Amino acid sequence: MSHASHSSRVSQDACAPGQPQLARLVETARAPVTFYLDGEPVQALAGDTLLTAILTHQRHLRISEFSGTPRAGFCLIGACQDCWVRCEAVSGAAGDVPLTRVRACSTPVQAGMRILTRAADVDNTHGGARG
């Protein structure tokens, strides 16, 4: 595959809203869990990792804060750090929302979690746009 065609494919993948990377084939009877992905409410199933929950809704896991390119996890065992996403801490105080980084491959999704997949310097909109 030439470099040009690879770049073109990456661009298309990054701009494929509503095109999930993963399709759920089994274990569909587990309880639904609502969490927020870049500000939008979405559903996962109880017991899903954040990686699974996110990739059943979009093509990539996050946008790299270093290169601006889409990432989808690599080792899937918590060693490579390719799956870091940001989680908003729930706070009643006005002002900046504290963010923590979590490994999506080993963090179970929880109801009400607020997950951000873009770094603020990649997209100036708080949390970025899903895509």
Domain ranges in the chain are: 3-116
Higher pLDDT, 55 or 98: 55
Using an 8 Å Cβ cutoff, are 87 and 114 in contact?
yes
Asked whether 9 and 125 are in contact (CB, 8 A), the reply is no
DSSP 27: -
State what percent of residues in the chain have pLDDT above 90: 40
Q: What pLDDT, in 10s, does the model give residues 66-105?
A: 888 888 888 878 788 888 999 997 655 556 678 899 999 9
Return the closest-CA partner of residue 82 out of 70, 71, 93.
Answer: 71
Q: Which CATH class is domain 3-116?
A: alpha beta
Distance of alpha carbon 53 from alpha carbon 116, whole angstroms: 13
Quick check: pTM over 0.75? Answer: no
Amino acid at 65: E
